[in-house]
Structure 1
Amino acid sequence: MADPAIILVSEHHADTLLEEFQSRYARDYDLRTAGSCTEAESIAREIRDRGDHVALFVTDSRLPDVESVHYAFHRWRLVVATARRVVAAHWDYFLADAPDLRVGMAKGKFDAYLLMPRGRRDEEFHNAITDLLSEWTSTIPQPEVVVAKVISPTHDALTMAIRDFLDRMGMQNRLWHPDTLELQDYLAGIREQLGVDELRWPLVVAANRVPVQATSVRDVAIAINGAPRNFELDGVVDLAVVGGGPAGLAAAVYGASEGLSVVVLEAEAIGGQAGTSSMIRNYLGFPRGISGMRLAQRARNQALRFGTDFLTGWEVTALEPGTDQAPHLLRTDGGEVRARTVLISSGVAYRKLGVPPLEALVGAGVNYGAAMTAAREMEGYDVVVVGGGNSAGQAALHLARFASSVTIVVRRGGLEETMSQYLIDEIGYNERISVLPCTRVVDGGGEGQLEWVCLEDTTTGRRTTKQARGLFLLLGAAPRCDWLPPQLARDKHSFVLTGRDVPRDQWTDDVPPANLATTVPGIFAAGDIRAGSMKRVAAASGEGASVVPLVHAYLAPATEDELASAPVS
């Protein structure tokens, strides 16, 4: 396969763009130039038809054969939907063209609006380009750089779950059939290494790790991250964080940076439910957006830098609160963790659809959440997304890069009550996505793989059958808290109560717990598992960071003299 192409489009400045890109990208990308929308479209179609990839369109803001560059992007998207799209406006009209172009960017018509480089070492420009190329690389079906090999004769639920875990951990992977001719010597070496005559599937081989014949995702997590080690500080940590989503990661970063000993226990992949989001565009500080996986891995690396310990793949099965300032005890099937304080940030799971024929096809076309691996395998097929929240919107937009059509099914009358406006705007612009309000999925099936779903209009009861290769279920939140002790107050939906939401009869001296404190001293809750939380990534991050001063206050309570001398604000 040829190198992926970058198509540079400008009537008068294509040579300027080519010179700038040649110095950095010529080794790894096929750099092509075009002087018009039509010429770029023809180049893209030629590359697609021979089975190769277009990674990026970079265009001037004015083209000779279209009234608006927005129309050019529309035409190019019909040819190559997965390519990233950038406007690099010439400095003579960058400001003049900005108002119209920024409106288009807000609707998802393209990914970045940049000033054409005016000289060498324009690092701000190239930072944007490399970010977009990195995001593109993470979405192609067969990545060039492979960190983990998955070898299996079938696309079963376990194999899909393992690949999705690897994707969420930021580990690019590929799937091979064990009968592949070029693998035979390689597999013979693995049999010798493991001391077995026959290998069991799926087999996972990650870089610099012992190959694992996986029976669960946890087997892979342990192979990659290792088993828990003994803890320092006499076996007691200052803060144990249960759940490695945005709230838990924020608490880890801020807690460890302020001198607390912190351990994060995550049953699945770092990032939690947010880690499955293909693109989060409304997170502060990322104007071009960032995938949930990349945001989570950056936060994890930040926390590691400050000394946080991560135990990934170890599920907490019980929490035994300490009394009289004694440490709290967290039980896992990999060992016990004692902690002076605990943050519960284990998040939520998607609610089950409850349709038996479809539950039987989970991993074979039916997916809970926006499974990144499954999305890449939907190229050319029709898919259905069920849900009306931001996660569903992000999933639909990501799937539209691959699938022929994406249908969003929602029980409500529309998306306006539950989805951010920027996502609604992008969905409305994307010609591959349609929305079916007042609709639910009631049946579906296929021969070992999802082939069809049955949809019911909730107002008329009318049922229709629709072809679908993929069904992505993002059905709302069910808290993961069956492991919590009865001393922690919860609402009728089992979300953890904190602060003034705690029933008054459980207040101490008629004073409610602090905002993120639970009914057990030294135990806090943040993120989606907390009753009344906003269910947004930024809000969860803020809550996680806000827990840290409460932890400090609990570990070193102020004396009466300090309270008396504190200034009144």
Structure 2
Amino acid sequence: MTSAPGLPTIVICAPEHADVLGSEFGRYARDYDLQVTSTAEETTQALQRLRAAGTQVPLVVTESRLPDQHVLRAMSQWRSVVPTMRRIVAAHWDLFLADADELRPGLSKGTYDAYLLMPRGVRDEEFHSAVTELLSDWGATVPAPEVATMRIVAPQPTALTAAIGDFLDRMGMPHHLLAPDSEEGRALVAEAGDTGFPVVSALGRGTFVPTAVRDVAVRIYGRPADIDVGSVVDLAVVGAGPAGLATAVYGASEGLTTVVVEAEAVGGQAGQSSMIRNYLGFPRGISGMRLAQRARNQAIRFGTRFFTGWPVTELVPGSDGQPHRLLTEGGEVRARTVVLASGVAYRRLGVPALEDLVGMGVHYGTVVSVARETEGSDVVVVGGGNSAGQAALHLARYARSVTIVARRPLAQTMSSYLIGEIRYNDVVRVCEGGSVVDGGGDDRLEWLVVRDAAGVETRHPAAGLFLLLGADPQCDWLPETICRDDNGFLLTGRDIPKHLWRDGLPPANLETAVPGVYAVGDVRAGSMKRVAAASGEGASVVPLVHAHLATLGD
């Protein structure tokens, strides 16, 4: 079975049930070429031909039993041919339960992405929802978007164009990078007045020349001063990571007028994760960007207003019934209650030669938006947490080799499911007890020096360095009346010194020493530092907000 040439190709290995799977995937024939094979070897050859021809392969689907090879070995081999494609095992209903125990461990090792029951009739939307999820995930990370909401014109990549691209990726906004001498590029440069680069054209927002990422954010999302200066909102949330988003969803859904102010892109550090596999309710995993944008849309549905690209520079606590004030360079927000969910920022490596190359091969946190640029190259990920593990596995789809450099054994800092996937992936290697001490290149990163546990320094070629070094809270803008621990994290509830308790009673569980100001998520001392825990705290703080508002009256 084939469709129009030049389309991405879905390969279906169906030795026994080609009629069923071929018919089911017929609904995709408009947008994808379909190729049906009958053995593992035939599938391998088909994938090799497609790759040699430069044809994109988003998905391979196979029955659970093959005549010439065990399906898990076949999947591993196919992954080595096309690392970026998603992989499904579709078991016939007579074999689904019989094969499940043997095949499902392959999911935890990353051998394949979904174990599904082959459809038994027409319109099996549960089956196709899994297929479209995986195709959507592939489409967001591999090919250039068919329809771009933003266009960027620049003669060559720069740190600014990389930062703008990363912001747009994290906000879920597809975009194209155009050359100035292209027909479309020339038209946009002229429209912007030929005043420099990069030129950005935003759908419905005109064409302009930004000097910082904030200019792009403001053009799309506005500024806090857009709020009626005479109004006071019930709830202002600082930060749009999982904790802040959960606060916004639950607060707005319960009738509170809610505003969220975010310094960077919605999603925080979690929004940069290429794939979160242990978040409740997403058995096939979900990217941090998709999780964040779904939560943002959910909050907007209930009436939340978002202002992105505006760091809060000062919190002025209210007194005598006056509202709290959040100051930004784009205006201020006045609120009866404030939830601090500003999260943490990655620590800097502190190597001057590498700091000078940030955005030009050296990246803090950013993976998804630049992973495609690492194809065929050697890259290094520094860090030992879950974010580092997720980044390494995502980069392994593109890079020739990925080295994780971690100061401590991964077993002390990383979830076991990620360690299992890393051990199974022959593209990724681990250097425990190591550190990156030097690096450089002409205009962009070309080499690194890694010091191993024995103190031996080795120079390696490297086209990418991804730094996920642990994190520090960003709380310098807060007043001293909001207490911190020795590491700068915010104290809440009973952790606040007793001499600051009111009438001998501690503040509420998530409340700071300032009444009506709360802290949730990673910025809070003693928090779990996990996406699900942050979301839970964001939901849990809303009843405390209601209780405080009740004490204020009208």
TM-score range, shorter chain: over 0.9
Distance 2:552 2:307 in 1: 33
Alignment-derived partner of residue 75 in structure 2: 73
Distance 2:58 2:36 in 1: 14
Is 1:283 aligned to 2:286, yes or no?
no
Alignment-derived partner of residue 562 in structure 1: none
Alignment-derived partner of residue 58 in structure 1: 61
Is 1:436 aligned to 2:439, yes or no?
no
Q: CA deviation at 1:154?
A: 1.9
CA contact (8 A) 1:212 1:219 kept: no
Describe the shift of the 1:230–1:205 C-alpha distance in structure 2 as closer, same or farther (beyond 3 A).
closer
**Cα displacement string for residues 227-276 of structure 1 (whole angstroms, at most 9, x for unaligned residues):** 34543695100000000100000000000000100000011111111100
CA contact (8 A) 1:527 1:543 kept: yes
AA aligned opposite 1:132: L
Give the 4+ runs in structure 1 shifted more than 6 A. Answer: none
Alignment-derived partner of residue 42 in structure 2: 39
Alignment-derived partner of residue 395 in structure 2: 399
Is 1:5 aligned to 2:9, yes or no?
yes
AA aligned opposite 1:407: T
Distance 2:322 2:552 in 1: 19
Distance 2:440 2:484 in 1: 38
Number of equivalences = 549
Q: CA deviation at 1:143?
A: 2.4
Alignment-derived partner of residue 183 in structure 1: 184
CA contact (8 A) 1:344 1:525 kept: yes
Alignment-derived partner of residue 83 in structure 1: 85
CA contact (8 A) 2:448 2:461 kept: yes
Query: What SS does structure 2 have at the residue aligned with 1:290?
Result: coil
Distance 1:200 1:141 in 2: 28
Q: CA deviation at 1:226?
A: 2.5
Distance 1:32 1:205 in 2: 38
CA contact (8 A) 2:224 2:333 kept: no
Matching of residues 201-212 of structure 1 within 5 Å: 201-212=197-208
Q: CA deviation at 1:509?
A: 2.7
AA aligned opposite 1:441: V
Distance 1:526 1:314 in 2: 19
AA aligned opposite 1:399: L
CA contact (8 A) 1:141 1:377 kept: no
CA contact (8 A) 1:212 1:223 kept: no
**Which residue of the other structure, out of 457, 463, 467, is the alignment partner of 1:469?**
463
AA aligned opposite 2:255: G
User: What residue ranges of structure 1 are gaps of 5+ in the alignment?
Assistant: 560-569
CA contact (8 A) 2:404 2:428 kept: yes
The share of aligned pairs that are identical, in percent, is 62
Alignment-derived partner of residue 567 in structure 1: none
Alignment-derived partner of residue 122 in structure 1: 124
Distance 2:146 2:353 in 1: 37
**Cα displacement string for residues 447-481 of structure 1 (whole angstroms, at most 9, x for unaligned residues):** 111111101124x2111111110000000011111
AA aligned opposite 1:417: Q
TM-score, length-scaled by structure 1: 0.94
TM-score, length-scaled by structure 2: 0.97
Alignment-derived partner of residue 563 in structure 1: none
**Which residue of the other structure, out of 246, 250, 262, is the alignment partner of 2:242?**
246
Query: What SS does structure 2 have at the residue aligned with 1:220?
Result: helix
Matching of residues 184-263 of structure 1 within 5 Å: 186-187=187-188, 191=190, 193-194=191-192, 196=193, 198-228=194-224, 230-231=226-227, 234-263=230-259
Query: What SS does structure 1 have at the residue aligned with 2:403?
Result: strand
Q: CA deviation at 1:2?
A: 1.7
Distance 2:18 2:357 in 1: 50
**Which residue of the other structure, out of 27, 46, 49, is the alignment partner of 2:30?**
27
Alignment-derived partner of residue 166 in structure 1: 168
Q: CA deviation at 1:324?
A: 2.2
Distance 1:15 1:434 in 2: 42
Query: What SS does structure 2 have at the residue aligned with 1:316?
Result: coil
CA RMSD of aligned residues (A): 1.5
Query: What SS does structure 2 have at the residue aligned with 1:132?
Result: helix
Q: CA deviation at 1:199?
A: 3.4
Q: CA deviation at 1:371?
A: 2.9
**Cα displacement string for residues 297-346 of structure 1 (whole angstroms, at most 9, x for unaligned residues):** 00001001100011111221100000122100010111111000000001
Matching of residues 362-511 of structure 1 within 5 Å: 362-412=358-408, 414-458=409-453, 460-511=454-505
Distance 2:185 2:112 in 1: 44
CA contact (8 A) 1:151 1:176 kept: yes
Query: What SS does structure 2 have at the residue aligned with 1:434?
Result: strand
CA contact (8 A) 1:317 1:332 kept: yes
Distance 1:290 1:371 in 2: 15
Distance 1:456 1:30 in 2: 48
AA aligned opposite 1:337: V
Query: What SS does structure 2 have at the residue aligned with 1:372?
Result: coil
Distance 1:533 1:407 in 2: 30
Q: CA deviation at 1:108?
A: 1.2
Q: CA deviation at 1:156?
A: 1.1
Distance 1:151 1:38 in 2: 44
Describe the shift of the 1:483–1:467 C-alpha distance in structure 2 as closer, same or farther (beyond 3 A).
same
Q: CA deviation at 1:184?
A: 5.3
Q: CA deviation at 1:151?
A: 1.0
Distance 1:215 1:421 in 2: 43
Distance 2:152 2:53 in 1: 27
CA contact (8 A) 1:6 1:55 kept: yes
CA contact (8 A) 2:223 2:331 kept: no
Query: What SS does structure 2 have at the residue aligned with 1:377?
Result: helix
Alignment-derived partner of residue 104 in structure 2: 102
AA aligned opposite 1:555: L
Matching of residues 529-540 of structure 1 within 5 Å: 529-540=523-534
CA contact (8 A) 1:242 1:344 kept: yes
**Cα displacement string for residues 87-117 of structure 1 (whole angstroms, at most 9, x for unaligned residues):** 1101110000001111111111111110111
Alignment-derived partner of residue 356 in structure 1: 352
